[in-house]
Structure 1
């Protein structure tokens, strides 16, 4: 539990393991028992057939909200399902209190299909700065963590993305153009050019992890929801990568970004992709 005059960095120095336990416990109690066992009444649509929510999402977020709030009593929790029910609660990300940004099941469509490409995402931010993140792929038993200024790790092993190998096409996971505005679709279509190999994205959290591991060169996304991006962007940064919007500015979790944006395994690749998204060649 945080002490009265303690900073977030001091809190993380002694509480990171407790956060990890909370993430693992929520997955063990509410997500994995439903994996490949979902009944029809446990799956609902939100905005449409491509935007699903399950009982696992709702119950895991409820458990995480209780556990994380207890660890850091003056904090607030901004979770995907809570914001769906109460959109005004998203404004807490822009406040001064420490905020836990939670996506209980990132990759719900994969989870519903019984595929293992989903994860739980938790990030701790304050004043628009993400200080720490946890990416837990429960079905793969993989946990990636990052603390600002202290590196990114996967199952205890340090992550270094490194630059892409020269002379090959850059693989970029992208938002589906059909689910964007016309302007964003036009920007994403610019990635269909020589030297770039775009492909549809899966779970955003796992795509960020692939960038941090150096297995994927970049992502290009057209939506801002902080629960999808906060954890992964810090993971990429701490692995040596970079992120830029179409306006050539770093992505802000507080919003107001010029979309689409990219996160990449090194600065040069981020600049290359951001330039293409902006309609430039370089």
Structure 2
């Protein structure tokens, strides 16, 4: 019998669509909706010249091609990141399991690095300002984060820490008898909805005229949101709390998710400082005509 203060977990089939042997799960749909939503929003943004100033805009065709690069970066990076950061010993014992993506196991931080690498390579290939392309991605990424966390909740995974006195706690099917925080929903709101609104406001105010600024704001914002939500999220069982640190106020300690957010804050702060100093903006030629940033984009131009 569930505790009196616990809400029942909504029994949602993890399979969204089934046609014969073909099954499409909610988690796969979350990736698809996130990518398609980001693609649509990005095309709207590159169609607004006033947001870009002297920075070269990617074309709508560039965005069509970029979505393939980013999708590969997210999937490959997310899987490799999960293997390296969260369960390396188990996968070294059974290396064939690394390829079994359908069984779950993706890391946001790994997917983030994979997407960044894809953006860097793509922008160099097309002669675009890399910082500006990272900014563009930063504005649209919260769409995927929102739907991804909702899918985590539907799957009944990545649940929160025990919360017997919280009136909206939920007993998850595989989370034991204790009611727990629905931390997936906290992350959907903080990392998805709130961050999307903040980035939308930022892009309306400053656009992409200071390459790197929006990317830095997103990285710092995500790190703060993720770290806050980690206080309510149960750490991965194979890792638990790191360093034996105990925070009495929240009944836990430092998690891998928190640790991986530290370099994000540092890198994001560097991006913001460089953008505000103008180090990443396109420089005029000697004849005074504005030019686009160098194809590398990652150096001062």
User: TM-score, normalized by length of structure 2?
Assistant: 0.30
Tell me which protein shows more helix as a share of its residues: 2
User: TM-score, normalized by length of structure 1?
Assistant: 0.31
Tell me which protein shows more strand as a share of its residues: 1
Q: Which has the higher contact order (CA 8 A, sep 6+)?
A: 2
Larger Rg: 2
